[in-house]
Amino acid sequence: MSFFDIFQYDFFINTIMAAFFASVAAGVIGTYIVSRRMVFLSGGITHASFGGIGLAHFLGLNPILGAAVFAVFSAVGIDLFAQRKIMRHDSLIGLWWSAGMALGVFFIYITPGYTPNLMTYLFGSILTVTTLDVLMLAILALVIVVFFGVFHKAIMFIAFDPEYAQTHKLPVYALSLFTSALVALTIVFSIKVAGIILVISLLTVPQAIVNMFTYNYKNIMLFSVVLSFVGIFIGLVISFSIDIPSGATIIFALLLMFIVARTILLISKKLKLKQIVRNEIGNDIK
């Protein structure tokens, strides 16, 4: 059976739809994360969410729901503690990061009966997404697009100059907390796409690629969405071809795209430099 033959199956239609909505969410939120230099914070939220997965498994609830509650709680908690200067920001992130992972492992292994396969959560399995997963990603993507569309200017001020935003009486804390919650939900709902270990790459690599060619915030958002979807699709093709977990192949595809883009950029700079040198030599001869 060829790769394109599986488009006839409902589960793969769910996979493609999940890839699209995850790309929209990750493209927009990832641009915000990179612009605010929140990658380490996002890593802390990602790993803290594992505590919610373990607790939900212990209570017999949906693991993604547990992860979502735990991630939002962690994101808002870190933000509030940091704003009140109760503890250094990096220390807070490290604390939530380690506590979440430890709680997740603890609850999973004290739960009687079958222990779930942690590889699905750690490294992702986009082929197992359900209709409910797709619906949650679709709602999240819609909320993110509407929120960033309505509050675009305010978010730009907060991302690049929060002090200036405060002087103009913008609701910096409220917008910051809500955006942190959206970051947490994007991370959690993307777990099945790339997994806890690799999801940060989905939120940062496409943005890094686009940022090599443009500094325009809207363009970075738009093209990050496109590159995220392309990377996920290529990763699925690789995963199907050589039977490797999709989370790893998706990130591998994105990293390969980064290397290609970086190579093109370096070659372009060298060609421009050579042209400048030639022009200077020609002017000297004249």
Q: Averaged over 62-83, what is the pLDDT?
A: 78
Distance CA 43, CA 255 (A): 18
Q: Are 49 and 235 in contact (CB under 8 A)?
A: no
Choose between 1 and 219: higher pLDDT. Answer: 219
What pLDDT, on a 0 to 100 scale, did the predictor assign at position 123? Answer: 67
Look at 20-29, 121-130, 207-216 and tell me which has the smallest mean pLDDT.
121-130
- The dihedral region occupied by 9, where left means phi > 0, alpha psi between -120 and 50, and beta the remainder, is beta
Res 282 pLDDT > 60? no
Phi, psi angles (nearest 5°) of residue 237: -60, -45
Res 185 pLDDT > 80? yes
Res 47 pLDDT > 60? yes
The first and second tokens of residue 278, run together, are: 């030639």
The rounded percent of the chain whose pLDDT value lies above 90 is: 8
What pLDDT, on a 0 to 100 scale, did the predictor assign at position 142? Answer: 93
Alpha-carbon distances of 31 from 27, 155, 167, 203, 209, rounded to whole Å: 6, 11, 24, 8, 11
Tens-place pLDDT, residues 237-258: 888 888 777 778 888 888 999 9
DSSP 139-157: HHHHHHHHHHHHTHHHHHH
Neighbouring residues of 257: CB distance < 8 A, sequence distance ≥ 6: 205, 209, 227, 230, 231, 234
Model confidence, pTM: 0.79
Choose between 282 and 205: higher pLDDT. Answer: 205
What pLDDT, on a 0 to 100 scale, did the predictor assign at position 146? Answer: 92
Neighbours of 131 (CB within 10 A): 13
Distance of CA 192 to the CA centre of its chain: 12
Res 186 pLDDT > 80? yes
Q: Averaged over 11-39, what is the pLDDT?
A: 84
Q: Averaged over 111-136, what is the pLDDT?
A: 73
Domains defined along the chain, listed by start:
3-285 (1.10.3470.10)
| The Cα angle at residue 233 between residues 241 and 32, in degrees rounded to 5 | 140
The first and second tokens of residue 10, run together, are: 């409902």
Distance CA 263, CA 173 (A): 41
Query: For helices 172-189 and 10-35, what crossing angle results, to 10°?
Result: 140
Q: Averaged over 142-153, what is the pLDDT?
A: 88
Kind and range of the H or E run holding 204: helix 191-211
- Average predicted confidence (pLDDT) for the chain: 79
Res 72 pLDDT > 80? yes
